[in-house]
Structure formats: structure tokens, C-alpha cells
Structure 1
Amino acid sequence: MASGVRRVMRLAAATALVTTLAPVLGWTSLAYAQTPAAKPQERMVVDARELVYDKDNNTVSAVGDVQILYQGRTIEADRVVYDRQSKRVVATGNARITEANGTVITGDRFNLTDDFRDGFIDSLRVVNTDKTRFSAPRAERTDGEVFVFDKGIYTACEPCVDQPERPPFWQVRAARIIHKKSEQMIYYEDARLEFAGVPIAYVPFMSGPDATVKRKTGFLAPKFINTSALGFGVGLPYFINLAPNYDLTLTPTYLSRQGLLGQAEWRHRFVNGSYGIRVAGIFQRDQDAFLKGPLGGGDDKFRGSVETFGKVFLNPRWTFSWDIAGSTDRYFYKNYRIRSESITATNYLQESTSTVALNGQSPNAWFDMRGYYFQPLTYNDWQKQQPIVAPVVDYNKRIHKPSMIGGELSFTVNLTHLTREAASFKELPVQKTYLISSPGNAATGDPAYLLYDGCAVYQKDKCLVTGLAGSIARATAQLDWRRNIVDPIGQVWTPYASLRADVFSINPNTTKYFNANVTTIADASDEVFGRAMPAVGLMYRFPFVATTSWGTHIVEPVAQVVARPNETNSLRVANEDAQSLVFDDTNLFEWNKFSGFDRVEGGSRANIGLRYSGTFGKDSYASLLVGQSYHLGGRNSYASGDLVNTGLNSGLDTRRSDFVAKAQYQPFKGLLLQGGGRFNESTFEAQRIDASAAFNYRFLSTTIGYGRYEPQPDLGIPRRREGLSLTQSISFAQYWSVRGSVLFDLDKYKYDRERYREALALHQQYPAWVSNPVYPNTGPLQAASTSVGVRYQDECTIFDVSYTQSYADRAVNGSRSSDTRTVMFRLELRTLGEISYSQNLGSSSSGDGVASSN
């Protein structure tokens, strides 16, 4: 009987609480939920174990597992008391509010207004949907959107699961933290940044957008710079959110030695594309910090750069894009650490490439038209030798299963036009060339004049012409057909036919610059000539499949034969786009092994090979390819060198080519072994080797790479190149990892000693002109570059420190003055921002335009 009475009291209590509060607050209980006039957002649902009505104190209390749903908020507590006189609601015991957006607010005691919008909270803890957190001994909320945290703490780090009382990795502790949701801003007064509870920085006042903000006007993280030529500098970017689809970022940077560097970036996104503009400039205060031109920017009072980039979707198939950049001098980007998307860099080359392109695609066709402008950024490149390439037009269309003949029909078009003011030469290797730094003086009897073998003027058999001066144009059209035919026993036959036509126009410039004399290799007058190349061929494959107890195996012999007439006009062609030729497994069965359109394979040729692939269980597999190419008849195009000797020393310039091979083996998941190479067809001596081993398992990642390439004297490569690279990353603790890499030049010590012996002989013969060299006391493991770094990364922090060093090509005297050493630091605190800093150590690197005294 008592149990039944209690059950009735609980049900009646919930209804009574809502009924009592409804006339005052306008709330609607479950009993009123069917009333048509009640708005859904105004209805309130209350669930509690008991209801206590205190007539003397004029209060109504809900007790035991209280849950109130109202206007999208959920309020939970052990006890909720409503004071009808003060119209205040007090929630105690495991009090918790879940906002409509998912934010969770917990505290020991809530003292709120009757609509739950405003009030005071003791021992507050706020967890936002993006996992950012606020806490404070006491907080106040006003107007339903302003939180004031007294002695507040903010962090984006999650608490430690095992020790929740331990301070997070980082936090901001402030006398007051004010979060204004309408402004989407957080303000910090008397703030300290703490790491693991230890204060490391104090800021009297700072502010930043809250996690709901994607774009907002304000200051970004500062940027720091420190070099000998610039001094110490601080840049403070200011982001201006002009509209949802365009903005402006201004970055004034004060440099203690050079003055004020100004930078601005404009970005604009519209319905069918976007574009941006970057500008930078400075009036140098100390020009003597840099070398005089052309070795540096010391002659210029003003130095600057401009870049624009963008992409427009004209319709679903066509796009127009551009990336155009230019600077007052080639050293500006590097000297002032200017970011540019146009820059491509390697250990030996750095240049800014400007492009404009129109691209169109359909399911069976592709079109691309673009132009290029190259600005070299290294001291040993000459701008007048760089081509302006415009336009380059590529078009390809494929037709699957054309009527009558079947198979696949493809049509390819390429049009290339370029201009160059001065011819570009590359010197063929000649003994003692590297020992003399200048041509010397014949009038004074300087023997260096007789020993110098440079390419100031073109000389046949001593120089390669990597680019003609003048205007060069070529138009190519090619029609290809191929079809796969599988016979009843599984043999695959692929007949092939093609017809290609080229038209060349060469207008050389032979009078303007000292190294533009091409009369010894081509007629100085304008000329137009053509070339036609028909071809027919057949490829044969016969895969054999075998299944054993330890795996599945596929062995496939492959044979290919192609017949063409001889290539014509190879010495008249200005080879611009087919200068690179590496014969390996990837192009063994290519119908034309040249890398571009300027050269085309001629004569009859057969290619044979054997493929194997096997799978052993779930994660283990292996593959192998071995093959060789045979010149059957006509003139061998790879033995007919052009102006850059493309094809010579390639392994294809003999009747029987070198062997090529490639193997891969994965014994288990996480370990991959692979290697490939080219081997002499008669002695089997390795001409080219590329091998690597990669291992990944839990906390360890290791990669070892090895490469060895024999000399190619006809291409201007006089010595063997051999290198070994090691890269490793180890996770040694939770969130922590260390990494390192090193690249060894394994053959350079031999080269250094050869140079020493030759330099010593010259010194003994010409002591007045050649200085006494220093013996290079080096071993086979000479590092070309090294890098080490430590990284910490968790859900709220990224901390990274790295050190890199690249070693310049040391002379016989062993000087290392031009080695580059850099320390880089990066700290990213989620939601607060990122700070990065890099510092060059030691002297300036060679060719950066900085005066050596700095």
C-alpha cells in the first residue's frame, strides 16, 4: 500500500512542479504538450524522483535524478529548488547543463534566473563541442551569452585519464576570462601561459576568437627572423575579414638592420573560382649587407616581389589558372624569407616558375595550353639563357572500339614555341677543367689560359648545347592504334600502328651574345623542315598461372617488335624537351623511349622480357621483371647523339642493349625490399643501381636507400655517382618522436684525391700560378646532408625542433665555409595559434647574395 502511494506521489510531483511554475514562467508540462497553442520551444519536460512544495518558504523543489528539458537546454542535478519570490533556480549536487549546441557546463552549485539564462556558478567547468575547456572557482553568465570566469583557466587539452587532477600540457590562467558569444571573442586579463603547470609567459591583456569562428579580423601569431644581413626582426600579421569571400592580410616586419619590410596578401573566392595577390617590398637601410650585382642585391635601394595566383572554373570541363611571380632580383626571396608558391628548389637549383594555363577535360579527351617564364634564383644561372616558353599546347583524344578495326584509337597533338636570348652550353668533361677558375691571360703567359677548357664559345666535341638562342617552334601530330586479342589458349597479341608528323621552325640568334655562336652546328639562317615517322609493331604476352601450397604464381614472357624508318634531322633538331633519358624497367616496352617530342625513336627494334609475380598468404608478395632491347635494323636513334648527346651512354646505344631488372619483395606487412638496375650486356657490370628497404612497425620507421650510377662522359658526367641515404623515426614515449636522416656521398673521396694529385702536379709545374693543395684527409662516408629533429604531438599541441645541414662541394683545400646549417622551431597550440622560427648558423651559404663580412 505504501509503495503504491509513493509511486503516485512521484508522478503527481513532477506534474505539480510544472503546473506550479507554468503560470509564472510560461512553461508547459507533458500534460499540456497536446495544447495546440503551445510553441514547441517553450515546452518544458521535468523528470525527478520527488517533488517537495514548501509553502512557508514559497519554494518548489525537485529531488533525485532531476532532469529538466527547456528551450533546447538540458539541466541535470541531484536537487533543483525554485524560489517563487526571487524567481531564482538553484541546482546543487552533480549539477550539469547541456546547451543546444552540445556545450556541457558542470559545477557544484548553479544559481540561475527562472529562464536558466543568467546566474552564478560555483566550481565551474565548461566543455565545448570542439573539446576546449574553461574552469573557474566562480563564474557569472549574463544576457544568456556572456560568461565571466573569475580566476579562470582555458585549455584545448584533454585531462589525463589516470590523473585528472594533474594540470594539462598547456593552459592559460587569467584573473578574468570573458567569453562573449555574440562577438565570438574570448578576452583574457592578466593572463599567464603555463606548460605542465609552470608559467612561461605573461600577457597583461590578450584576446582571440572562440572555436566557432572561422574568419575574424585581428592579429595573427607573430613571426620572427634573425640573420646577419637583416638583424633581428618581428613581423605582426593583421588579418582583415572584409567579407565572407575575401580578405586582406597585412604583415609589417621590422628588421633591426634593414628597416621596415612590408607584406600584403589579398584573397578572393567567388562562385566559380578564386585568386590571390601577394606583394612584398623594402627600402633597404644597409645595402652593404649584400653583395653588389649581379652577385647580390646590394646595388638596389628598393627590393621587392609580386605574385598572383588563381583558378577559374569556366564550366564543368574547362578551367583557367595562373601563378605569376617576379622579384627585383634573384636573391630577394631567400634574403628576406619571402614565401612564394612559384618556387621550386633542389640542393643545386632554385627557380621561380610562372605559368598561365587553360585546361579542358572530357571522358575521352584532354586539352592543355600553357606558358612558362623561369626566373633563376641561384648565382650561377643567367637569366638570358632561360627560355620563355609560350605556348605549349597538348591535346589527346581516345576512341574506344572504333568501327571496323576495333581496339583503341588515339590522337595526340603537341605545339611548343620558345625563345631564348643567349644559347646555353654545358661543358663536356676534360681533365684539369676544375683546377682553373678563369681562362687566364695569354698576353702575360699565364698557363691557365692553355689549361682552361670552358664553353665561353661553342666548340664541337667539347660542349653540349642545352638550348639554342633565338626562336624555336615545333608542331607534332600523331595517330596511334592498338588492340588486344586473346586467343583460345590465353596468348595475348597486341598489334600496334602509328603515324607521326613534325614540323620545326628554327630562327637562331648568333650575333647578340658572346656564347651564342651556333654557326658551327647549324645554319645561321632561318629554316623550316619536317619529319615523318610511321611505325607498326606487335606485342606478345603469354601468362602462366600456378597455384602451390605456399602461394599463387604468375610467369609471363613478353616480346615486342616495332618497325620504323630511320630518324631524320636529329642534329638539326633543337632538343628542348627530350634531354632526359633513363633506360630502366619502366620504359622497356615503350614504343618510343625518348621522354619528349623533340626526339623520336627510329629503326627496327625488339624488346623482350620476363615478368613474375607471386602472392604468399595475406601480406606477402614478390615481383620481378628482367628484360633487354635489341636494335634490329636501320639507324639506331640512341647511338645518334644530338646537340646534347641524348641517347649516348644510355645502354640503348648498342645493337644489344644493357639488361634492365626490377624486383620487389614484401615478406610480411611492414617490410618492403626493392631494387632495380641496368647491367652491361656483355660483362653484366652494374651501370645503374637503385635499391631501398623500408621497415615500419609500431614505434619504428626506417628507410635505407642506395644508388650508384656509372660515369656518362658523353653527357658531361665524368665520374661515378654513389650515395647512401638513411632515414629513421622512433616514437620513444607517448606523443614523442625523434627523427634523423643522413645522405652519404660514397664516391666523392676518390674524386677529391684524384683532384689533389692533379693539382699537386700542376703546382709543381707552375708554382707561380697554382697554389699548393691540401691533402683531403676524408673517408668514404662523406655526408652530403644531415637532419635531426624532435617532435611532440598530442590532441592540443605540436612542438617540433629540427636541425639540418647541407655540405657544399668542398674544394681541394678542404674549405667548408659555404656549408648551410639551419635550426627550425615550431610551436602550435590548438585554437591559440602557431609560432615558427628558423635560424641559419655560421656563415652565409654560397651564392645567397650576402656579403661575406656579415
Structure 2
Amino acid sequence: MARFAAATALVSSLASVFALAGTAFAQAPAAAKPQDRMVVDARELVYDNDKKTVSAVGDVQILYQGRTIEADKVTYDQASKRVIAVGNARITEANGTVITGERFNLTDDFRDGFIDSLRVVNPDRTRFTAPRAERTDGETFIFEKGIYTACEPCKDNPERPPLWQVRSARIIHKKAEQTIYYEDARLEFAGVPLAYIPYMSGPDSTVKRKSGFLSPKFLNTGPLGYGVGLPYFLNLAPNYDLTVTPTYLSRQGLLGQVEWRHRLMNGSYTIRASGIFQQEKEAFLAAPLGAGDDEFRGSIQTNGKFFINPRWTFGWNAAMSTDRWFYKNYRILNEAVSSTTYLQESISTAYLNGQTATGWFDMRGYYFQPLTSTDWQKQQPVVLPVIDYNKRIHKPSFLGGEITLNANVTHLTREAAAFSQLPRQTNYLISGTTTTGVGYSLYDGCAVYQKNTCLVRGLAGNVARATAELSWRRNVIDSIGQVWTPYASVRADIFSVNPNTTSYANANVRTIVDTSDEVFGRAMPAIGLMYRYPFVAKTSWGTHIIEPVAQIVARPNETSSLRVANEDAQSLVFDANNLFEWSGKFSGYDRVEGGTRANVGALYTGRFGKDAFANLLLGQSYHLAGRNSFATGDLVNTGLNSGLETNTSDIVARAQVSPMTGLFFTGAARLNATTYEAQRIDAAATYATSVVTTSVGYGRYEPQPDLGIFRRREGLSLHGSVLVTPNWRLRAGVLFDLDKYKYDREVRISQFTTWAASPSTVTQPRYIDSRLLQTASTSFGINYTDECTVFDVSYSQSYADRQSGATKDTRTVMFRLELRTLGELSYSQNLDGSTVGDGVTSSR
């Protein structure tokens, strides 16, 4: 009762001296707004008539206009109209911001004043501290000798400096502008100053988008020199913005970059452009190996996606550059780039897509821009359009099962035919001994098509095809659990081949394909049956399902395989995944499987305990009648060396095993049906916990000389990371090329071929045959992550492959530092390396 009486008295007194209408809880007029009412709670009230002060003492808590003030003692001075709070003083704002200090000296509405030993904690866990601060207009904080950080204080030692902080002579936080200004600031790590910044500003935690400078970007390469870019972000509207990034390069001048982003009601799009007038063109190779002849170089990129309605979307991702080396030379990010060690290209596409629960439609076009010196733009196809349609009808009343309609239309054009040389055997002597061996040479070229010597990767001119396939299948389970699946389909194709015979070494194109009938067609009906009989067994250590599977599909012979310009079915990998494919084992539409074929196999599935499982498949394919499509090579010999070219195919197997949570083993293999030698092996093992992640991958593929692959490919990859502490993680990786032949960099292949033909007249070149543990690439890095900081340093090295044209290893160091709320700084540096076909002079 005493506490309640004192609180009531203080409310009444404060109400009168503050002279604020409706602030007293007990005496407020009925019309007072709830947010204008003041609620006061304290242990006692002290009124000093001489000093004209009113004090609330002991666990004081005042609620007013969304703010909460807490202190050991709160005193109101009637003469100065100031409120002074001392002893564990604390203000909690309506948005959750907490302000603490030793002493508050505020105006009577608590909006403005001075605070000693200030500490501010915002809802996003950012913090300000200062020995003294002032708040004006209820919106602006001025921190004298202020410190800002987004890091949590150490629980065991709160006085220890955080990982990073900004210490400034003055920090000004203007809430109305949503901006924080730092004057005479320095950035400290663990209390040690590392960077001095005379003046900087940035948005506060309430800002999602605000105009201003972003984190600078740094780069340093031989042909460019030292460079620094300072992006400026323009928040033009809530749904569109512009970022301008001028980058000064010490050797090449000013590189300009601009990015426009626009979000609409039904989608968004982005446009990026880059350009530079080069100052030192001699830093790059002259055409056709580089862009050293060009004064202006640049690129434009755009992507977008829009929803027409819930079922239909259209979009695009396109990029074009003045030359194929621009992105790499000037470190321009291109989201359309598809890059591997041996293939680098920019793929532009536009599409229209629609789908329902039972239907799917996709129409798109492609444009390919090669990004290396070894590729020729005129050999790249322009594909427009590619139309795919799929429709499924479940349980039709007259047949049951499922009816599927598949349709595809493809049209492409190419200026110059694309050939590749088949490997040619060459006899040679090994390192001065009398032993002879057999090697392969691919360096005679294939500029003009020669039958049985060149593969036609793409035909010049116009090629079009329309395909439609209607199929039906149904699962029938008999009384003893056997599953019978009858199947039937009919497919029709129409081709239009109009080769270009007038330019770019295509004059003998009539020796490649029969062009007497430019439009031709083919039809392929099929009937089939699949049989499965699962056997289930339960033991004390698990549940086991063994399921024998047999499938037979009968088709007439494939026609016109040598007349078809195979564009989309060049890749054929026979494995357990396509063993039982009803539509055949070719990857695209240009080829179709013919003849009668039986596919057999056995599937095992096991569950052990709560988490362990295993899945195994072993099978084989048999050609029973008709002409074997895989034994008849087309213009690129697809089907040969696939394991399907004989009547009894290679054996394929697949395994997935997980003995415990986090540990997985996967593997796939193709074995010769007679010798059981592995023709193709893919294997991987992964183990992942919150502390350790590891992975091992292995691949081995035997030569396929009919496809232009003259040597075995074998590799081993090792990757892993370990959490050293709750914040530090180490990672490393290495890729071994286990079957890599290297020539000494000073020896040309032509010299080797000449010497092999006449060893007595030419100086013997050095030939290095080192197959074991040839390192292809290595990488390692260290990462630190906590609630306020991400720090990452990595090093990677790709070792030069002499046969692909590289002469130097590529070594790269990458650095990234992200300070929460302040920004991100990243930097990468190539260390005296070069990549294949980068168009840079050797004096880089």
C-alpha cells in the first residue's frame, strides 16, 4: 500500500509540475490519448520546496509515449524543466533500442538532453558507446569520442574490446536521415588501430535501400595495373535503382560500369554495361589471339523474369561483349558464362515457359559466344527456336495407365561447319631405347572434311527437326505381387537439312551428307513389356527388398542415321540410370534407338536400423534383333565405344550406401562383358558433421578413339574442412590427374611427329610419361565467421596443361572481409599466372 500510495503521489506531482495535459494516470481527462498517458512506479517520493524539485526514488520506472525510463532515482527540476535520472539509468525506445548510462539529463518530454557514460543497443544488436552524448530534437544523437560496433561483447570479459569497432572523435546519428556520420574515425581490430578514415557515413540499421557509396573494389593484374573502383548506389525509387562504378586502372585508364535494376508488379529485370578506352593496347595480344588492336572494349548483360500468370513465365539471360577476352581481362562478372578447364563460353537465352500439374511447355533460343582463342565464332550455332511440350493423361478410361505426349521442335543455323580430328596413331621410340610404342597425334588439323578422319560436330547452314511421340504404359500387379508394365509408343520426325556449300571450307559438304532431298522423315513405333517381382525379407538387422527386373522393347531398324546432322544427341553415357529408359539411351532427339533390345537387372534396397540404408543395381542390355543403332556411327560416331555396340552390352552397376548419419558412399561402373575390365568408374564418399566435412571423388574413363578421345582419363579429388574453433574453419582440396601425359614445354608436337617418322635425321625430343599423382589443381583456405564478421582467405593453383596450350600455372589469392552493417571488402590477385587463351602478352 505504501508503494502504491507513493507512486500515486508521484504521478500527481509530476503531472502538475510537467504541466502536460493528460499525463497523470489517476487524473487524466477522459479524452487523453493512451500514448500520452504517463505511468510511474517507484518506492518513495521526495518533494523539495526550496529547490523546487520532485524526486522518485527506488526502482523507478516511467512509461511515457512508448518509452520506458528506469533508474535508481529520477528528479524533476521545475525551474529548468529538466529530468535527471541517475543510478542504473536506462531508456527503452518504442522500437526496442536500449540506452543506458550513469546519468541522464533530459527535457521534460524525455526527447532531448545529455547522457554520461552512454551505451546504446539497437534492435539489430549494433552498439554505440561514449563517455558523453547529446540527443537533440528527439532524433539526433551526437556521441563525443564515440565507439560503434556490431559485435557482441565477450561474455567472460565484457571490458575486452570487440573483434572490430569504429572509434571516432564524433559519431552523429540522424534518425530522420537514417544516416550515421563518423568524423576523424579509425577502424580497430581487437583494440589495435588498422585504418584511419577522416570522414565517412553510412545508413543506420533501419535502412534497406539508401543512396551512397558502397565498399570499394580493388584489383591488380599485369595488363591492367593497380585499380580501385568506388561504386555509387542511387536509390531512385523503392522499385528501381542505379549503381555506377568508375574504376581507375593505372595502365588502362578509366573503366566504367553501370547496373540498372527494376522490379515491377509481375517480375524484375537487370541491365549491366561496361566499357573502356584502352590506353596500353600492347598489353594484350593482337588479333586473332587477343584484343590488342581494339581501342574500345566493353560488354552489355541483361537478365529478367516475369510472371504472366501463375502458370506462365518468360525471361532472358543474355550477354554480349566486343571480344571474347573482355570478361577475363577486366574481371567482369558474367552470369551467363559456362566455364570449365577446356571450354569457356557465354550462353545467352530467352524463354517462355508454362506448366500445369500434368503439362509442361518451354520455348527458348540460344546464342553462344566462345571466350577462348581456340574457338571460332562462325562455328557456333544460333539455336532458335527450341520448343518442348509434354502432356500426361492419367488413367484414360479406355486403357488405364498413363498416356504421354512429347513434342520437340529445333532449328539452328551455323556459318561454318565444325570438325574435329580423329586421333592418328604414331610410332615412336622411348627415351633413346630401341623400344617402340604407339602414340596419338591430333595436331594435323581438320580444316577440310575428310571421311573417316574428321568428325562433324556441327553442320554449316540450316538444320531443323520436328518430333512428336505418343506413348502409353500401365502397371498391373497380379495376385502374387508380380508387376507387369506393358508399353507402346509411336514417334515421327521430320528433318530439313539445308547445308551451306559456298564458304568456310564447306565446298565438299556434299560428301558429308546427302543433300539431294533436303526434307525427309522417319517413323519409329515401339512396343515393350517390363517385369518386376519384389521379394521382401525382414531380419534382426534390417529389411531387405530384392527385385529382379526384365524389360524388352521391339522397334524397327533406325533409318537415316547418316543423313541426320546430330546436334543434340552427341553425348551418350550408358550407365545404370538409363538402362531401363523406355525412350532409348540416346540423350537427345536427333538419334533414336532401333531394333529389338532386352534389358535385365536386379535391384536391392535395404534399411538397417534408423538411419542406415543401401541401394544397389546391377544390369545388362542385349541386342536381340534388327540393326544395332549403337554399332552404326553417325557424323560424330555417337554410339561407338559406348558399351552398347555389341549384341551383349557392357555390365552396368550403381550403388548407394549410408552406414550411418552423415556418411555416404556412391558409385557407378561400366564393366566389359567379357573381361570384366572397368570401362567407366565414378565413385565418391562424403562424411559431414558440424565439425568435419570430407569428400573423396574418383573417376576413370577408358579411351574412346572413335569419338576422338585417344587416352584414358582418370582423376582423384580430395576435399575437406574442419571446424578448429566455434568460429574458425580450415578447408583444403586437391585434384589429381592420374593419367596425364606431359610434354616438355620446349618441345612441339610437330617436332615429335617428325622425329617419330625419321629418328635418325632429327634430334630426339624429350617425352615425359608421368602418370601417377599429377596434380591438376590445389586449393586451401581459412574462414572466420561470427555474429558481426566474415573473414575468408583462399589460395588456389591450377597447374598448366601443356596439351591445351597453357604455359604457366594459374595461381590466385582471394581475400574477403565482411563487417556487418559497414560493408564488404574483397580482393583477388593472380600470382604470375596465365590462363588458356586469355589474350595477354607474355610480358604481362
Superposition TM-score, scaled by structure 2 size: 0.95
Please give the secondary structure, in 1, of the residue aligned with 2:617: strand
2:52, 2:79 within 8 Å by CA — same for their partners in 1? yes
Moved more, 218-227 or 19-28: 19-28
Name the CA distance, whole Å, in 1 between partners of 2:112 and 2:534.
78
Q: Identify which of 479, 503, 521 aligns with 1:488.
A: 479
Partner of 2:344: 350
1:749, 1:780 within 8 Å by CA — same for their partners in 2? no
**TM-superposed deviation, 1:774:** 2.7
**TM-superposed deviation, 1:840:** 0.9
Give, as a single letter, the amino acid of the residue that structure 2 aligns with 1:495: P
Name the CA distance, whole Å, in 2 between partners of 1:433 and 1:418.
41
Partner of 2:494: 503
Partner of 1:746: 738
Name the CA distance, whole Å, in 2 between partners of 1:218 and 1:230.
27
Please give the secondary structure, in 2, of the residue aligned with 1:66: strand
Q: Identify which of 713, 719, 742 aligns with 1:727.
A: 719
Moved more, 760-769 or 122-131: 760-769
**Any idea what the Cα deviations from partners look like across 1:811-840, whole Å, max 9, x if unmatched?**
69xx97322111111111111111111111
Q: Identify which of 520, 536, 541 aligns with 1:545.
A: 536
Name the CA distance, whole Å, in 2 between partners of 1:622 and 1:116.
68
**TM-superposed deviation, 1:571:** 0.6
Partner of 2:565: 574
Name the CA distance, whole Å, in 2 between partners of 1:519 and 1:430.
24
Partner of 1:4: none
Name the CA distance, whole Å, in 2 between partners of 1:203 and 1:582.
59
**TM-superposed deviation, 1:526:** 5.6
Partner of 1:21: 14
1:74-85 residue pairs with structure 2 within 5 A?
Answer: 74-85=68-79
2:743, 2:766 within 8 Å by CA — same for their partners in 1? no
1:21, 1:27 within 8 Å by CA — same for their partners in 2? no
Please give the secondary structure, in 2, of the residue aligned with 1:161: coil
1:60-75 residue pairs with structure 2 within 5 A?
Answer: 60-75=54-69
**TM-superposed deviation, 1:453:** 3.7
Are positions 1:832 and 2:822 aligned together? yes
Please give the secondary structure, in 2, of the residue aligned with 1:57: coil
Give, as a single letter, the amino acid of the residue that structure 1 aligns with 2:627: R
Are positions 1:668 and 2:660 aligned together? yes
Partner of 1:618: 610
Q: Identify which of 601, 607, 628 aligns with 1:636.
A: 628
Q: Identify which of 834, 838, 844 aligns with 1:848.
A: 838
Please give the secondary structure, in 2, of the residue aligned with 1:413: strand
Name the CA distance, whole Å, in 2 between partners of 1:454 and 1:749.
20
Residues 635, 744 of structure 1: CA spacing in aligned structure 2 closer, same or farther, 3 A cutoff?
same
Segments of 5+ residues of structure 1 without an aligned counterpart are 1-6, 436-449
Please give the secondary structure, in 2, of the residue aligned with 1:519: helix
Q: Identify which of 773, 776, 784 aligns with 1:781.
A: 773
Residues 677, 182 of structure 1: CA spacing in aligned structure 2 closer, same or farther, 3 A cutoff?
same
Give, as a single letter, the amino acid of the residue that structure 1 aligns with 2:474: R
Partner of 1:462: 453
Name the CA distance, whole Å, in 1 between partners of 2:749 and 2:352.
56
Please give the secondary structure, in 1, of the residue aligned with 2:502: coil
Please give the secondary structure, in 1, of the residue aligned with 2:467: strand
Are positions 1:686 and 2:678 aligned together? yes
**TM-superposed deviation, 1:465:** 0.5
Superposition TM-score, scaled by structure 1 size: 0.94
Moved more, 686-695 or 24-33: 24-33
**Any idea what the Cα deviations from partners look like across 1:543-598, whole Å, max 9, x if unmatched?**
11111111111111111111111111111011100111111111111011111111
Residues 758, 283 of structure 1: CA spacing in aligned structure 2 closer, same or farther, 3 A cutoff?
closer
Partner of 2:88: 94
Q: Identify which of 204, 221, 225 aligns with 1:231.
A: 225
**Any idea what the Cα deviations from partners look like across 1:617-663, whole Å, max 9, x if unmatched?**
11211111111111111111111111111111111111111111111
Please give the secondary structure, in 2, of the residue aligned with 1:16: helix
1:372, 1:388 within 8 Å by CA — same for their partners in 2? yes
Are positions 1:527 and 2:527 aligned together? no
Residues 769, 405 of structure 1: CA spacing in aligned structure 2 closer, same or farther, 3 A cutoff?
farther
Are positions 1:133 and 2:127 aligned together? yes
Name the CA distance, whole Å, in 1 between partners of 2:516 and 2:501.
9
Please give the secondary structure, in 2, of the residue aligned with 1:334: helix
**TM-superposed deviation, 1:749:** 4.5
2:11, 2:26 within 8 Å by CA — same for their partners in 1? no
Name the CA distance, whole Å, in 2 between partners of 1:529 and 1:377.
36
Name the CA distance, whole Å, in 1 between partners of 2:791 and 2:338.
27
**TM-superposed deviation, 1:261:** 0.8
Please give the secondary structure, in 2, of the residue aligned with 1:152: strand
| Root-mean-square deviation over aligned CA pairs | 2.2
Are positions 1:608 and 2:608 aligned together? no
Partner of 2:142: 148
2:372, 2:836 within 8 Å by CA — same for their partners in 1? no
1:792, 1:800 within 8 Å by CA — same for their partners in 2? yes
**Any idea what the Cα deviations from partners look like across 1:4-61, whole Å, max 9, x if unmatched?**
xxx3x3211111111122241234344357x531111111211222222222322222
Residues 851, 816 of structure 1: CA spacing in aligned structure 2 closer, same or farther, 3 A cutoff?
closer
1:469, 1:509 within 8 Å by CA — same for their partners in 2? yes
Partner of 1:658: 650
Name the CA distance, whole Å, in 2 between partners of 1:693 and 1:30.
70
Q: Percent identity?
A: 72
Name the CA distance, whole Å, in 2 between partners of 1:387 and 1:118.
70
Give, as a single letter, the amino acid of the residue that structure 2 aligns with 1:727: H
2:167, 2:185 within 8 Å by CA — same for their partners in 1? yes
**TM-superposed deviation, 1:779:** 5.6
Give, as a single letter, the amino acid of the residue that structure 1 aligns with 2:838: D
1:136-535 residue pairs with structure 2 within 5 A?
Answer: 136-432=130-426, 453-514=444-505, 517-525=508-516, 527-535=518-526
**TM-superposed deviation, 1:62:** 1.7
Name the CA distance, whole Å, in 2 between partners of 1:169 and 1:374.
48
**Any idea what the Cα deviations from partners look like across 1:165-190, whole Å, max 9, x if unmatched?**
11111000000000000000000000
Residues 766, 625 of structure 1: CA spacing in aligned structure 2 closer, same or farther, 3 A cutoff?
same
2:247, 2:255 within 8 Å by CA — same for their partners in 1? yes
Moved more, 161-170 or 35-44: 35-44
**Any idea what the Cα deviations from partners look like across 1:767-805, whole Å, max 9, x if unmatched?**
799654234274611111111111111111111111111
Partner of 1:446: none
Moved more, 521-530 or 453-462: 521-530
1:422, 1:516 within 8 Å by CA — same for their partners in 2? no
Name the CA distance, whole Å, in 1 between partners of 2:769 and 2:536.
57
**TM-superposed deviation, 1:195:** 0.5
Name the CA distance, whole Å, in 2 between partners of 1:58 and 1:768.
118
Name the CA distance, whole Å, in 2 between partners of 1:82 and 1:413.
83
**Any idea what the Cα deviations from partners look like across 1:464-492, whole Å, max 9, x if unmatched?**
11100100000001111111112222211
**TM-superposed deviation, 1:764:** 7.2
Name the CA distance, whole Å, in 1 between partners of 2:491 and 2:38.
80
Segments of 5+ residues of structure 2 without an aligned counterpart are 430-440
Partner of 1:561: 552
Name the CA distance, whole Å, in 2 between partners of 1:767 and 1:232.
50
**TM-superposed deviation, 1:451:** 10
Name the CA distance, whole Å, in 2 between partners of 1:750 and 1:191.
56
2:500, 2:506 within 8 Å by CA — same for their partners in 1? no
**TM-superposed deviation, 1:720:** 0.9
Residues 520, 327 of structure 1: CA spacing in aligned structure 2 closer, same or farther, 3 A cutoff?
same
Q: Identify which of 43, 47, 58 aligns with 2:37.
A: 43
